[in-house]
Amino acid sequence: MTDYFHLALPEDDIRAISSIGLAHLGDGVYELLVRSYLCSHGKATGKDLHRATVALVRASAQAERSAKIWPLLTEEEQSVYKRGRNAHVHTIPASASRADYLAATALESLLGWLYLQGRTARINELFQRMMEEV
């Protein structure tokens, strides 16, 4: 039985996934991290929790946080990030600029890629850096 909480797919399988596919998965990884962060920091009431989550997962917030970790990324991680940023997205929400949306997609692609490799410690390291000064 596959343990979807602790994946470690072969490199060839991960490489076959599109940047949009990686971003789709990474979006879920990032949202789970944000929700866990907020609950563990005392924002556990429904309305406040939802507002705080939305504030942190919107494209502009993700773009801002991705800039904080860029210097920490390895060459391979930067390559995955750039591949995500250059993905052909067809619709951009009205609430986001094109640049912010592409940076958010890049961050999500990176998180999805790391997750599929089973590199949760690296995800956690990057997430903690992103959340400094929040």
Q: Per-residue confidence of the chain (134 residues) as pLDDT tens digits?
A: 888 888 899 999 999 999 999 999 999 999 999 999 999 988 667 778 889 999 999 999 999 999 999 999 999 999 999 999 998 877 887 888 999 999 999 999 999 999 999 999 999 999 999 999 75
Domain boundaries, the chain: 12-130
pLDDT at 110: 98
Please identify which of the residues 12, 13, 27, 48 carries the catalytic annotation: 27
- The C-alpha atoms of residue 4 and residue 115 are separated, in whole angstroms, by 10
Decide if 105 contacts 22 (C-beta within 8 A). no
Residue with tokens 């490489």: 15
pLDDT at 96: 84
CA-nearest of 59, 82, 78, 85 to 126 is: 78
CATH fold of the domain at 12-130: Ribonuclease iii, N-terminal Endonuclease Domain; Chain A (1.10.1520)
Two tokens, residue 36: 């866990």
- The C-alpha atoms of residue 132 and residue 116 are separated, in whole angstroms, by 25
pLDDT at 1: 81
Distances (CA, A) of 53 to 12, 43, 69: 34, 10, 20
The verdict on whether 12 is a catalytic residue reads no
Burial label, 45 (beta-carbon count in 10 A; 0-12, 13-18, 19+): exposed
